[in-house]
């Protein structure tokens, strides 16, 4: 690869710079991987060194501390309580009591079951009183996995709290030795709305995210390594258990299915290709057409600007499911458009909007333009108004025509500002469930892929496929989970590449 000095680099055209960065990024990958493995060693050493320092600190606190500090090692918060910091002390103590009670009553059971995900499934037993056979339920793999993960979270939180408790004892000892004044409860309460206000503000949102996003995601990642599906639901019929990497092998194997159907890997590749194509088309058609509409409305000498804008903006307000479902039925085989065209005698056969793969794909992209332009128009309008007018003025004086003004001023400006937006909109479109599901439901069916779970269709994105697997007859949650992880990998890779190449990566503080 050609190396440029700084000066040479600045002389390149935009396009050359972009290419240069792109190539540089991919050339750097092998070295980055090598560095990654080199760094693993360093990180391990660093980790142990840090852990050693922690243990040393804990030991020192213990040997140098007085009896109150020493008791705190067992009874958390004791040091705080005896030094008059009642609030902190009670919090520590309460947490310890809750933790111990939880671990003894249930936590221990979940942890012990985690490696096997349950020993005994439901059994049919003879009931002598009613003289009949009844099903008796035993372990519940689902709960074991869920509460097992939760217990691990809890243990980590406990260790962290315990360490904080020890640190606080050390601080107290030091302050007393210096003859300083300890913080009172009143100080603590005041700091909750002042220096530490961010902790108060973040407590609720972060708890929500931890319980309803992080925990489920960790759980679902783990599900990819089990055989959890409709036939092994962990409680009512069979337990599920760990299967290692089997599910990834299934998803990425090239072995064809029964009856000459294609392999999972081929199906996955096909859907991925369409997902990327869709995301690309959906993002850029909307982007350029939205910009075009915004420029038309913004043009000098066009009247009723507000009316045009309001008409488009109004369509944002109407819930998408109404407009999408209505339009989907409008183009259906026996829908308004086909019936009207048949009545007029313009066509003999209904047009296959949703029955033919190519027709369906083109239709979803076109209808998505209809859905997306108003939004893009708004964003583009905001930016276009911010472009300094004197740029155009001087361009006109220099004799630039409309196209030159567009390509040399408007477009670069837009691209620069909306770079990050384009990226999020691209990944958002990759996961655009609503438009695809409400318009086509994935139809028409992809016959070649019938060996794969969840009846794959030609317009299915990975995300709708995931949904279909989940709600399908066999509910192969483990496959859905594998698809989900692969979607994450693809999105993360694209984001990584784009963030490294994009010119408008900026320092966050620059804005403020």
Partner 1 sequence: MNNTTEKRHMGLKALNRASNTAIYILLILISVIWLIPFVFIVLQSFRVESTYQVGYVIPHQWGLQNYINLWNSDFKRWYLNTFIIALAAAVLTTVIQLCMSYTLSRFRFKMRGPLMRFMLILGMFPGMLTMIILYRVLSDIGLTQANAVPGLILVSVASSGMGYYVSKGFFDTIPKSLDEAARVDGATRLQVLYKIILPLAKPIVIYTILTAFMGPWGDYVFARYVAMGTSAGYNVAVGMYSWLSADQIANWYTTFCAGGVIVAVPVTILFLCLQKYYVEGVTGGAVKG
Footprint (CB under 8 A) of partner 1, residues 284-323: 293, 296-297, 299, 301-302, 308, 310-323
Q: Which is nearer to partner 1, 96 or 229 (CB)?
A: 229
Q: Strands, E, within 190-271: which ranges?
A: none
DSSP H/E element including 125: strand 123-127
- Selected binder of partner 1 within 342, 351, 365, 443 (CB under 8 A): 342
Q: In this structure, what is the dihedral angle of CA atoms 407, 408, 411, 416, given to the nearest 10 degrees?
A: 150
CA distance 342 to 471: 37
Segment 128 to 167, residues that bind partner 1, using CB under 8 A: 142, 146
Q: Which is nearer to partner 1, 166 or 430 (CB)?
A: 430
Terminal Cα distance for the chain, rounded:
38
- Selected binder of partner 1 within 3, 5, 132, 334 (CB under 8 A): 334
Q: Which is nearer to partner 1, 219 or 359 (CB)?
A: 219
* Cβ at position 297, least distance to partner 1 in Å: 7
Beta-carbon neighbour count of residue 186 at 10 Å? 9
Q: Which of 95, 71, 93 is nearest to 172 (CA)?
A: 71
User: Which residue, chain included where needed, has tokens 């892929």?
Assistant: 449
CA distance 142 to 163: 32
Q: Which of 296, 328, 471 is nearest to 338 (CA)?
A: 328
Q: Which is nearer to partner 1, 213 or 404 (CB)?
A: 213
What token pair was written down for 357? 């793969």
Q: Which is nearer to partner 1, 12 or 385 (CB)?
A: 385
Query: Residue 131, by phi and psi: left (phi above 0), alpha (psi -120 to 50) or beta?
Result: left
Q: Does 339 bind partner 1 (CB under 8 A)?
A: yes
Apex 247 CA angle, 481 and 263, nearest 5: 105
Q: Which is nearer to partner 1, 76 or 485 (CB)?
A: 485
- Selected binder of partner 1 within 49, 138, 329, 396 (CB under 8 A): 329
Segment 419 to 438, residues that bind partner 1, using CB under 8 A: 420-421, 424, 427, 431, 433-434, 437-438
- Cβ-based neighbours of 144, under 8 Å, separated by 6 or more: 110, 113, 114, 117, 118, 234
Q: Does 487 bind partner 1 (CB under 8 A)?
A: yes
Q: Does 326 bind partner 1 (CB under 8 A)?
A: yes
Task: Identify the burial level of 290 via C-beta atoms within 10 angstroms of its C-beta, where 0-12 means exposed, 13-18 middle and 19 or more buried.
Answer: buried
Query: Site map for partner 1, 234-263, x if CB under 8 A?
Result: ------------------------------
Region near partner 1 per CB under 8 A, out of 50-58, 90-98, 170-178, 204-212: 204-212
- Selected binder of partner 1 within 87, 111, 265, 332 (CB under 8 A): 332
- Selected binder of partner 1 within 24, 409, 443, 491 (CB under 8 A): 491
Q: Which is nearer to partner 1, 269 or 420 (CB)?
A: 420
Q: What is the 3-state secondary structure (H, E, C) of 57-96?
A: HHHHHHHHCCHHHHHHCCCCCHHHHHCCCHHHHHHHHHHH
Region near partner 1 per CB under 8 A, out of 42-50, 97-105, 195-203, 257-265: 195-203
Rg over alpha carbons for the chain, rounded to the nearest Å, is 31
- Selected binder of partner 1 within 1, 7, 10, 204 (CB under 8 A): 204
* Cβ at position 4, least distance to partner 1 in Å: 30
Region near partner 1 per CB under 8 A, out of 5-13, 391-399, 417-425, 451-459: 417-425
CA distance 433 to 282: 13
Q: Does 343 bind partner 1 (CB under 8 A)?
A: yes
- Selected binder of partner 1 within 19, 40, 101, 340 (CB under 8 A): 340
Q: Does 467 bind partner 1 (CB under 8 A)?
A: yes
Eight-class DSSP state of 509:
G
Q: Which of 318, 334, 356, 338 is nearest to 440 (CA)?
A: 356
CA distance 282 to 289: 11
Q: Does 471 bind partner 1 (CB under 8 A)?
A: yes
Q: Does 370 bind partner 1 (CB under 8 A)?
A: yes
- Selected binder of partner 1 within 160, 492, 503, 505 (CB under 8 A): 492
Eight-class DSSP state of 123:
E
Q: Which is nearer to partner 1, 205 or 260 (CB)?
A: 205
Q: Which is nearer to partner 1, 250 or 381 (CB)?
A: 381
Segment 371 to 400, residues that bind partner 1, using CB under 8 A: 373-375, 378-379, 381-383
CA distance 449 to 331: 26
* Cβ at position 65, least distance to partner 1 in Å: 26
């Amino acid at each position: 690869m050609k190396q440029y000095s700084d000066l040479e680099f600045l002389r390149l055209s935009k396009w050359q710079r972009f290419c240069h960065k792109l190539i540089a990024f991919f050339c750097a990958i092998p070295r980055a991987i090598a560095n990654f493995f080199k760094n693993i060693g360093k990180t391990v050493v660093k980790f142990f060194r840090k852990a050693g320092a922690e243990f040393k600190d804990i030991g020192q606190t213990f040997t140098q501390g007085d009896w109150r500090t020493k008791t705190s090692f067992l009874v958390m918060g004791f040091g705080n309580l005896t030094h008059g910091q009642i609030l902190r002390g009670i919090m520590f103590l309460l947490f310890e009591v809750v933790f111990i009670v939880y671990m003894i009553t249930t936590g221990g059971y979940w942890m012990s079951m985690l490696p096997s995900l349950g020993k005994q499934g439901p059994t049919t037993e003879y009931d002598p009183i009613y003289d009949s056979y009844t099903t008796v339920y035993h372990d519940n793999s689902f709960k074991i996995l869920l509460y097992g993960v939760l217990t691990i979270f809890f243990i980590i939180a406990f260790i962290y709290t315990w360490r904080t408790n020890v640190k606080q004892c050390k601080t107290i000892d030091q302050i007393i030795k210096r003859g300083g004044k300890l913080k009172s409860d009143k100080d603590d309460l005041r700091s909750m709305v002042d220096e530490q206000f961010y902790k108060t503000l973040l407590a609720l949102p972060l708890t929500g995210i931890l319980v309803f996003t992080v925990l489920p995601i960790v759980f679902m990642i783990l599900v990819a390594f089990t055989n959890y599906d409709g036939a092994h639901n962990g409680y009512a019929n069979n337990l599920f258990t760990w299967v290692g990497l089997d599910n990834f092998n299934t998803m990425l194997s090239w072995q064809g299915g029964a009856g000459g159907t294609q392999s999972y890997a081929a199906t996955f590749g096909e859907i991925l290709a369409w997902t990327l194509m869709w995301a690309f088309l959906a993002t850029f058609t909307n982007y350029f057409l939205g910009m075009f509409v915004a420029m038309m409305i913004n043009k000098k000498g066009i009247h009723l600007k507000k009316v045009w804008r309001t008409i488009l903006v109004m369509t944002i307000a109407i819930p998408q499911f109404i407009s999408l479902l209505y339009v989907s039925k409008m183009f259906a085989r026996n829908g308004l458009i086909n019936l009207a065209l048949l009545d007029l005698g313009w066509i003999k056969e209904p047009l296959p909007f949703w029955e033919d793969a190519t027709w369906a794909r083109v239709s979803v992209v076109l209808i998505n333009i209809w859905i997306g332009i108003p939004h893009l128009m708004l964003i583009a309008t905001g930016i276009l108004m911010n472009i300094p007018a004197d740029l155009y003025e001087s361009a006109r004086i220099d004799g630039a025509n409309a196209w030159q003004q567009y390509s040399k001023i408007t477009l670069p400006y837009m691209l620069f500002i909306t770079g990050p937006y384009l990226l999020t909109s691209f990944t958002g479109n990759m996961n655009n469930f609503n438009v695809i599901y409400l318009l086509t439901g994935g139809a028409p069916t992809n016959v070649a892929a019938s060996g794969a779970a969840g009846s794959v269709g030609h317009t299915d994105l990975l995300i709708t496929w995931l949904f279909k697997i989940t709600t399908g007859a066999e509910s192969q949650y483990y496959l859905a989970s594998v698809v989900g992880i692969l979607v994450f990998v693809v999105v993360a890779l694209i984001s990584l590449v784009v963030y490294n190449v994009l010119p408008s990566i900026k320092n966050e503080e620059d804005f403020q």
